[in-house]
């Protein structure tokens, strides 16, 4: 078996990216910065014999389980136990040092600095002894005698046997990594034919060794990103609706021009709080909860045990007791609707369960609910006797159910049904960010927002707590990490000139922001003739009429032509199943009204936009509104939703209607403001197209397709954008694809719209901004999507030779900058660096053309820079020209009067995918991801026709996708 290289580190050197064209950026005021990167030093003598090993762990007595991958935590536990046992008993010449210093990724790769005793080792082992879990106070099972803890190698352990295989894969040359950091291509090519892969091996080895040293002290996840985050559950911070925030930190090793570095950054993640399942469910559903099955939070206890069969491995301790008495007051949860169950399945998907009706040392995975209640659900025992579950618990355990009308909980691989009141949630289940309620999201922001000075101090504290200096594993590997972070130089790029209509007053750009005083849109959208209002609020009609009048008046002051100043207002109760009917009714009456006003001289357009007033933050109903307007009517209609709380607040209404007017204008095909001129956009000609693209995915295990979205300018002035959407699945099955599989068809759509608006010409050049790509997929995305773009252009014109600059926009990194001298930010109350700060030396790639740009002013917490990586530079941008162009474009975001953190084409593509997610996934999918964190799901390939089904409907309106309808 040949060990496969992990994709996470694959492109960290940017060995195959476009080379840096010059010595870097020299424009702008210089500023000294402190980073959250710590230089690592390697003892090459100690690392001269490092080997990469392939690892295989298979259950012996369970053929079905042997065909599936074991959980990462269980794999780690098995291998650590097997190595320690082998070293203790002299098996296969495995030594204590070999066992202690092996770095393992929890899957199929391991790294050793001591040679493997043979080319291949194979032996059998058993599960390690299981540590008893703490009893649940007052639970029925707590009074029963606990099973005795079995000694190592005892009868209980022998029931589950595993075969371990370690095999030599290849040697690791750490000297190549240091050569790579020096950027010496010749030296690297002289030593190896495949340097990028060998460098990747060494970086991945270092990363895994650094992670392994923390596993005994912290809890970490198992996905590609989560395995670099480490938490201490004992420091959990309770937030609303049964959730809690776990503070922790991110750690990753990476190469850069200054050498090997370790990136440390505070991290905060939401988890489900522990306790009685009934109480946890009630809190998650915001149903309150009475006296509580578990009175308090409970004291801290010892280390937790290992998960049982079908679970996901153990939960590392620190939390201990579950608090309170089992029983005691009532609960607000006496029944669950189908919608309640769907919400709970989303939010509890990754949790583990303990049962309390009997003594047990097992943790079981949550699998869902029974379709019927405990007093209706039947099952058959091994002896063939049928029972209703409520009856069975009464006869078997002398336990009468308090909540017989609740469904049972399905747990474990066997999907056993257990009454909800005898289930305890183990406080370790992560809550995906997309499944948090608005209240929980607000709480998380409050907890995690850190001013730059506080974040910098926390980084320094993390470095002290981790204590690389005394760690035996790092000492054995000869790895040292500096105590002080790296410093570097940044440069502040000047803000561009923002322009509105020629008759307008030119705004004065301050610290990344300006205002609309005296401004008129540079290009007003279509004349507003056919529109209407759907009012789903509880506000009186007079208040709604007054607000709509104020909104349309704001539009007119900014230059929009508004013919229908008093659109029809129709009031309804918010029912997602009737939204389509409401819109059809409103559309017909709005068109008839417009036709009457226009007379015989002009035919009014079909409905142009619907104004929707919503009373509360209800994401599911909001999605229903957007879906109905875009996909379910005869022709798609743009919508503008209003938050009733903001709309009817007179104090902030003027600012609110001005901000919304910017969105209305672009939905009608207008342009709010521009940045123009050779100084601010060097090398951007009248025949340069801008493209932004992104792919968003359903959660792991979902059978729903991914969504690819792209936007592109229609004119050389970057005033108008077209949009394309496609659904896609992996044609070979397996993990969802970050590559846009239908990118040729999407680019054909963009190019034809450009051609139609530019007298049949194609653009001479394209700047392609790609969002949401993990470092390991840079090359795959570039190869497929750049070729698809070229193929699309040649299909339209065989002799087309469009120059393309292809840029990755990365926001998922953890690199942060702080002022070395606090006086440099003394005038900013947030403590953030000024907008326009750019770094393109020391911490960037030694080979590639990349840079960090914080184009926005920080408002809350610490501003995150965007990492731009240039994979192709056919337009031959210099460092200064490209950095200036991107910084200037960040001032053109259409719905704000401030610069934004990522270049707008990529930002628009991200928003487009976000809106389309509601169309495809529906209101109950809370596990969408927009990065490369995908699960292995086999799905049929989607045809080009099906992939473009949304676009086929949008095409019923000739102008719908020629504007930013999704904003």
DSSP 16: T
Ranges of beta strands (E only) in 257-363 are 259-272, 275-276, 352-355
- CB 127 within 8 Å of CB 179: no
Whether the per-residue pLDDT at 386 is higher than 80: the answer is yes
How much is the pTM?
0.89
540-565: average pLDDT: 97
60-86: average pLDDT: 85
Mean pLDDT across the chain: 86
The pLDDT-based confidence of 288 (bands split at 50, 70, 90) is low
Q: Which helix (DSSP H) or strand (DSSP E) does residue 120 occupy?
A: strand 120-126
Whether the per-residue pLDDT at 332 is higher than 80: the answer is no
Rank 140-144, 289-293, 444-448 by mean pLDDT and report only the highest. Answer: 444-448
Whether the per-residue pLDDT at 407 is higher than 50: the answer is yes
The 10s digit of each residue's pLDDT in 910-954 is 999 999 987 777 654 444 434 333 333 333 455 666 667 889 999
The pLDDT-based confidence of 431 (bands split at 50, 70, 90) is confident
Share of the chain above pLDDT 70, in %: 86
pLDDT of 482 reads 98
Q: Note the CATH architecture for domain 274-426.
A: Beta Complex (2.170)
Whether the per-residue pLDDT at 11 is higher than 80: the answer is no
CATH number at 524-667: 3.40.50.2300
Query: Which of 316-330, 480-494, 807-821 is predicted with the least confidence, judged by mean pLDDT?
Result: 316-330
Ranges of beta strands (E only) in 160-228 are 161-171, 219-220
Whether the per-residue pLDDT at 649 is higher than 80: the answer is yes
Domain spans of the chain, in order of start: 274-426, 524-667, 674-962
Cα–Cα distances (Å) from 232 to 211, 268, 352, 461, 465, in that order, read 15, 11, 18, 14, 12
425-447: average pLDDT: 84
The 10s digit of each residue's pLDDT in 570-580 is 999 999 999 99
495-513: average pLDDT: 92
The pLDDT-based confidence of 700 (bands split at 50, 70, 90) is low
Residues in CB range of 205: below 8 A, 6 or more apart = 50, 52, 103, 111, 172, 174
Whether the per-residue pLDDT at 758 is higher than 90: the answer is yes
pLDDT of 846 reads 87
Share of the chain above pLDDT 90, in %: 63
- CB 343 within 8 Å of CB 432: no
249-272: average pLDDT: 94
The 10s digit of each residue's pLDDT in 388-404 is 999 999 999 999 999 99
pLDDT of 408 reads 96
Does residue 906 or residue 64 have the better pLDDT? Answer: 906
pLDDT of 2 reads 46
pLDDT of 312 reads 35
The 10s digit of each residue's pLDDT in 18-59 is 999 999 999 999 999 999 999 999 999 999 999 999 999 999
Whether the per-residue pLDDT at 331 is higher than 60: the answer is no
CATH 3.30.420.10 fits 674-962, yes or no: yes
Does residue 565 or residue 435 have the better pLDDT? Answer: 565
Does residue 157 or residue 462 have the better pLDDT? Answer: 462
pLDDT of 493 reads 97
What is the pairing mode between strands 609-614 and 568-571? unpaired
Separation CA 194–CA 197 (nearest Å): 6
The pLDDT-based confidence of 320 (bands split at 50, 70, 90) is very low
Separation CA 148–CA 582 (nearest Å): 65
Find the helix packing angle between 277-284 and 338-347, rounded to 10°. 100
What is the pairing mode between strands 103-104 and 109-112? antiparallel
Query: Which of 352-366, 451-465, 712-726, 780-794 is predicted with the least confidence, judged by mean pLDDT?
Result: 352-366
Whether the per-residue pLDDT at 158 is higher than 70: the answer is no
The 10s digit of each residue's pLDDT in 513-539 is 999 999 999 999 999 999 999 999 999
Q: Where are the alpha helices (DSSP H) in 778-836?
A: 778-796
Separation CA 115–CA 101 (nearest Å): 11
Separation CA 258–CA 815 (nearest Å): 14
The pLDDT-based confidence of 338 (bands split at 50, 70, 90) is confident
pLDDT of 922 reads 61
The 10s digit of each residue's pLDDT in 812-848 is 999 999 999 988 887 788 899 999 999 999 999 988 9
pLDDT of 735 reads 59
pLDDT of 148 reads 39
427-456: average pLDDT: 87
Residues in CB range of 410: below 8 A, 6 or more apart = 366, 367, 368, 369, 370, 416, 417
Whether the per-residue pLDDT at 682 is higher than 80: the answer is yes
């Amino acid at each position: 078996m040949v060990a496969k290289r992990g994709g996470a580190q694959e492109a960290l050197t940017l060995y195959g990216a476009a080379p840096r064209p010059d010595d870097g950026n020299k424009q702008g005021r210089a500023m000294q910065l402190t980073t959250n990167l710590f230089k690592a030093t390697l003892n090459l003598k100690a690392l001269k014999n490092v080997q990469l090993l392939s690892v295989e762990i298979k259950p012996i007595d369970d053929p079905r389980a042997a065909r599936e991958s074991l959980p990462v935590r269980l794999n780690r536990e098995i291998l650590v136990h097997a190595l320690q046992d082998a070293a203790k008993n002299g098996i296969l010449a495995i030594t204590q040092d070999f066992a202690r210093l092996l770095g393992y990724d929890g899957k199929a790769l391991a790294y050793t600095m001591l040679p493997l005793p043979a080319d291949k080792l194979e032996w059998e082992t058993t599960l390690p002894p299981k540590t008893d879990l703490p009893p649940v106070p007052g639970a029925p099972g707590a009074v029963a005698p606990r099973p005795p803890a079995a000694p190592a190698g005892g009868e209980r352990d022998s029931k589950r046997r595993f075969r371990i295989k370690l095999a030599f894969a290849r040697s690791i040359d750490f000297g190549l990594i240091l050569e790579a950091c020096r950027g010496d291509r010749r030296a690297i090519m002289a030593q190896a034919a495949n340097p990028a892969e060998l460098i990747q091996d060494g970086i991945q080895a270092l990363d895994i060794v650094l992670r392994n040293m923390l596993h005994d002290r912290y809890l970490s996840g198992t996905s590609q990103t989560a395995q670099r985050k480490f938490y201490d559950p004992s420091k959990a911070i309770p937030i609303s609706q049964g959730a809690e925030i776990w503070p922790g930190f991110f750690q990753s090793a990476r190469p850069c021009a200054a050498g090997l570095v370790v990136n440390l950054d505070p991290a905060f993640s939401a988890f489900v709080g522990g306790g009685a399942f009934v109480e946890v469910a009630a809190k998650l559903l915001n149903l309150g909860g009475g006296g509580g099955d578990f009175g308090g939070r409970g004291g801290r206890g010892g280390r937790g045990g290992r998960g049982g069969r079908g679970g996901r491995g153990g939960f590392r301790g620190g939390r201990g007791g579950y608090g309170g008495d089992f029983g005691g007051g009532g609960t607000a949860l006496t029944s669950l609707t189908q919608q309640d169950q769907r919400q709970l399945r989303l939010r509890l998907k990754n949790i583990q369960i303990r049962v309390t009706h009997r003594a047990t040392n097992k943790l079981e995975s949550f699998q869902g609910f029974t379709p019927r209640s405990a007093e209706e659900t039947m099952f058959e025992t091994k002896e063939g006797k049928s029972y209703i579950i409520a009856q069975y618990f009464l006869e078997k355990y002398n336990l009468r159910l308090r909540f017989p009308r609740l469904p049972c909980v399905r747990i474990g691989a066997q999907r056993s049904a257990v009454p909800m009141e005898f289930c305890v949630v183990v406080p370790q289940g992560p809550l995906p960010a997309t499944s948090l309620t608005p209240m929980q999201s607000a709480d998380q922001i409050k907890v995690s927002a850190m001013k730059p000075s506080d974040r910098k101090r926390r980084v320094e504290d993390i470095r002290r707590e981790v204590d690389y200096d005394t760690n035996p594993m790092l000492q054995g590997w000869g790895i040292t990490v500096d105590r002080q972070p790296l410093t570097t130089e940044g440069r502040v790029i000047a803000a561009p000139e923002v322009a509105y209509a020629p008759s307008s007053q030119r705004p004065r750009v301050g610290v990344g922001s300006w205002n609309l005083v005296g401004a008129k849109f540079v290009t007003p959208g279509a004349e507003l003739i056919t529109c209407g209002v759907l009012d789903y609020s509880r506000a009186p009609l007079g208040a709604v009429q007054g607000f709509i009048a104020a909104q349309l008046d704001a539009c007119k002051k900014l230059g929009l032509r508004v013919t229908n100043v008093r659109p029809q207002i129709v009031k309804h109760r918010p029912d997602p199943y009737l939204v389509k009917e409401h819109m059809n009714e409103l559309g017909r009456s709005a068109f008839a009204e417009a036709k009457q006003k226009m007379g015989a001289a002009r035919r009014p357009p079909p409905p142009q936009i619907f104004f929707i007033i919503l009373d509360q933050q209800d994401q599911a109903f909001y999605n229903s509104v957007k879906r109905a307007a875009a996909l379910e009517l005869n022709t798609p209609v743009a919508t503008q939703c209003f938050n009733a709380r903001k709309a009817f607040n007179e104090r902030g209404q003027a600012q609110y209607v001005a901000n919304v007017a910017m969105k209305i204008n672009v939905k009608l095909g207008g342009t709010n403001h521009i940045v123009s001129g050779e100084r601010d956009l060097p090398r951007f000609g009248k025949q340069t197209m801008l493209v932004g693209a992104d792919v968003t995915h359903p959660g792991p295990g979902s059978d729903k397709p991914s969504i690819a979205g792209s936007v592109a300018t229609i004119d050389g002035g970057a005033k108008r954008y077209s949009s394309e959407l496609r659904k896609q699945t992996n044609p070979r099955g397996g993990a969802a694809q970050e590559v846009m599989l239908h990118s040729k068809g999407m680019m054909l759509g963009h190019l034809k719209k450009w051609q139609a608006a530019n007298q049949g010409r194609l653009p001479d050049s394209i700047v392609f901004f790609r969002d949401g790509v993990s470092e390991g997929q840079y090359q795959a995305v570039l190869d497929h999507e750049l070729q698809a773009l070229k193929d699309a252009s040649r299909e339209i014109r065989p002799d087309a030779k469009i120059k393309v600059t292809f840029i990755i926009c990365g926001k998922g990194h953890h690199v942060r900058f702080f002022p070395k001298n606090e006086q440099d930010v003394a005038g900013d109350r947030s403590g953030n660096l000024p907008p326009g700060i750019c770094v393109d030396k020391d911490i960037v790639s030694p080979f590639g053309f990349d840079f960090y740009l914080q184009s926005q002013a920080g408002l809350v917490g610490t501003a995150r820079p965007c990492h731009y990586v240039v994979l192709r530079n056919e337009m031959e941008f210099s460092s200064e020209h490209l950095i200036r162009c991107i910084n200037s474009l960040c001032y053109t975001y259409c719905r704000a009067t401030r610069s934004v953190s990522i270049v707008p084409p990529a930002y628009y593509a991200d928003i487009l995918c976000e809106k389309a997610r509601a169309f495809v996934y529906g209101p109950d999918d809370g596990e969408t991801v927009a990065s490369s964190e995908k699960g292995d799901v086999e799905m049929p390939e989607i045809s080009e026709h099906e992939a473009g089904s949304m676009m086929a409907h949008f095409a019923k309106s000739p102008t719908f996708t020629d504007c930013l309808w999704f904003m």
